[in-house]
Chain A
Amino acid sequence: MADQPLLTVESLYTRFKRGTDTIYAVNGVSFSVSAGEVVGVVGESGSGKSVTMMSLLGLVRGRATVDVKRATFKKWELPRLTPRQLEDIRGREIGVIFQDPMTSLNPVMRVGDQVMEAMLAHQYATPRAAFNRTLDLLREVGIPDAVQRFRNYPHEFSGGMRQRIMIAMAIACEPDLLIADEPTTALDVTVQMQILALLQELRERRHMSIVIITHDFGVATNFCDRILVMYAGRIVESAAVAEFVAQPAHPYTIGLRSSILEIGSRGRPLSPIPGLPPTVTEPPKNCSFAPRCPYAIDRCREELPELRVLSPGHEVACHRAEEVISLAG
């Protein structure tokens, strides 16, 4: 795996106006994605995991303000690009797939034409070449009878098949980075496995980087190289999967992990994290997790913990990470 970062983000802030409130959705997020790396962004709803990625792509909706110190993708400085240029990078250099393919596919356009369009819009191929490539892509993502299916409309496909078509569109221009926002959440479990297997296969064949946004630790730990955990608009922990599994250091990560029921959990007493994730309506000045944290001390309620290096490749935003590891272990 090359160490040259493909995407580098420094100090990303996104806030929304909602009525009279300001929602601080992303509060100073910095991370990078290396070439060929698979990164999982894990968090619950409202954690800012999706907004973070969409902010970079210029895809946030509503009255949003995005501030970022630096966001470099390959040779481009994303904040300096015009919306037109960003649009061109999206789809050509960065593919995006969403949870619900039905909202991103055009219901009155044949799926083959939509995949072709993905290439033609970016002048990636001539119409003839795009046509042939579309058939290849449909086969590659596992749509049987590609020639016939080319002419079908989205509603004639099952949820899993639609997600495959979305993937074909997203990878049509051979992007270096694929952003997948909850790509399997709406699917049946057996189909979820198929889509994950497909993404893994594509990643190996094409040496793409993937950022997968998910609420599911099971998906993230089995699919990714590295995991970022988000809470209240901040990254609270970042580690390679092996380290993440062996030694989670943030109390939120630990709490969330023990919240997951797995086969064999029967009879185990449950230890839910009390309370609810907050909506952040002012810039955080202390640890947002402190009110729910069993390890919180006064310092947590007074001082914002910065993301710091715990061990090489393992970063955590917790004042007491070292103690937490020994206490939780």
Chain B
Amino acid sequence: MIARIAVNQQPGNVPRTARKRSQWLLAWDRYKQNKVAVAGLVWVVIFFIFGVIGPWVAPSSYATTNYLMANHPPTWAYPMGTDSLGHNMLSEMLFSVRYALEIAVFASLAAFLLGTILGLWAGLKGGLADTILMRVVDFFFAFPAYFLDLILVTKFGRGLGPMIFALAVTGWAGYARLIRGLVLGMRNGEMVEAANALGASPLHLARKYVFPNVVSNMIIALAFGIPSDLTVQAALSVVGMGLNPPLPSFGNMIAAAGSNVLGYPWLMYWPAGIFAITLLSFLFVADGLQEALNPKGGS
């Protein structure tokens, strides 16, 4: 097949955009065009800030109870009201943000790093290593992740560490498969052939040619991975296998409020509302990144 390439310059000229600008700045320019993604990013940043400072700015510990004020609607002292044990909902929320982020970010990062390294290795190396890894990945895909998570938290407990471990174990295979596929597609392409013809060593090839061309896809995958881990976390709470109380989490709060939503609606509105907005924001950011980082898209 003959590729036809559009010619789009004035005679002899090189494009007006040809200033030395990094791909990342160009991507940021494209990202800024997408208002929804920018809004999502603002919320995500706020969420992260509260994730870091939450425990310090919280008016009380999440465990402090005040039975006299149980199930109280929002007041000045308790801006988000209190639950059936008299926990200050604002404190609960602030700590939830922290734990939710801690779990989602570390679990995703762990899965991502493991998946990326294995995927790069399998894709570049090929042969037996690739075959074995892909069989393992197939196993993880064939087995419902949610059940595996349930089994793992049942076995190892419901603390922060086991939760991160469980989510990382079920998450890496997706990253590995994605990266391996990208690398494989590239390995047979002309870019790699050209680099080989230049005499690039395998390491140079991986570092200068393959990696920079998969990194944006990896960032996009990670951006989609975090909200998905948030969801799984909350879903585990629904069946009573979320973070071990009294550790607060969105899932626990939503699950607990569900039984009493007519009597004490604020117990549902705050966690469910903020959780929903957060999930959406992460997805908007991921979407925005996908558009901005895809070099063929915008130009």
Contact = CB atoms under 8 A, between A and B. Distances in A.
Interface of A: 19, 44-46, 100, 185-186, 274-279, 291-292
Interface in B1-30: 1-2, 4-12
Contact of A44 (B2, B7, B10, B12): B7
A274 B11 contact: yes
A275 B11 contact: yes
B11 A291 contact: yes
Candidate in B9, B10, B299 with the most chain A CB atoms within 10 angstroms: B10
A59 to B, nearest CB: 18
Given A45-B7, A186-B2, A274-B12, 12 more contacts: A45-B4, A45-B5, A45-B6, A46-B8, A185-B2, A186-B1, A276-B9, A276-B11, A276-B12, A278-B9, A279-B8, A292-B11
A270 B7 CA distance: 21
B9 A279 contact: yes
Contacts of B11: 274-276, 278, 291-292
Interface in B79-136: none
Given A100-B1, A185-B2, A276-B12, A46 B298 contact: no
Contacts of B9: 276, 278-279
Contacts of A279: 6-9
B10 A276 contact: yes
A42 to B, nearest CB: 15
Nearest to B11: A275
Contacts of A185: 2, 4
A274 B11 CA distance: 8
Contacts of A46: 6-8
Contacts of B10: 275-276, 278, 291
21 contacts: A19-B298, A45-B7, A46-B7, A46-B8, A100-B1, A185-B2, A186-B1, A186-B2, A274-B11, A274-B12, A276-B7, A276-B9, A276-B11, A277-B7, A278-B9, A278-B11, A279-B6, A279-B8, A279-B9, A291-B11, A292-B11
A3 B60 CA distance: 92
A291 B10 CA distance: 9
B60 to A, nearest CB: 52
A100 B1 CA distance: 8
Contacts of A44: 7
B205 to A, nearest CB: 31
Contacts of A292: 11
A284 to B, nearest CB: 13
A238 B4 CA distance: 25
A77 B286 CA distance: 47
Sorted from nearest, which 9 A-B pairs have the closest CB atoms?
A275-B11, A279-B8, A276-B7, A186-B1, A45-B4, A291-B11, A275-B12, A276-B11, A277-B7
- Please indicate which of the listed interface residues B9, B11, B299 has the most CB atoms of chain A within 10 Å of its own CB: B11
A294 to B, nearest CB: 13
A176 to B, nearest CB: 29
Nearest to A19: B298
A276 B12 CA distance: 7
A186 B5 CA distance: 14
Contacts of A275: 10-12
B12 to A, nearest CB: 5
A117 to B, nearest CB: 26
A199 to B, nearest CB: 19
A292 B7 CA distance: 15
Contacts of B6: 45-46, 279
A207 B14 CA distance: 48
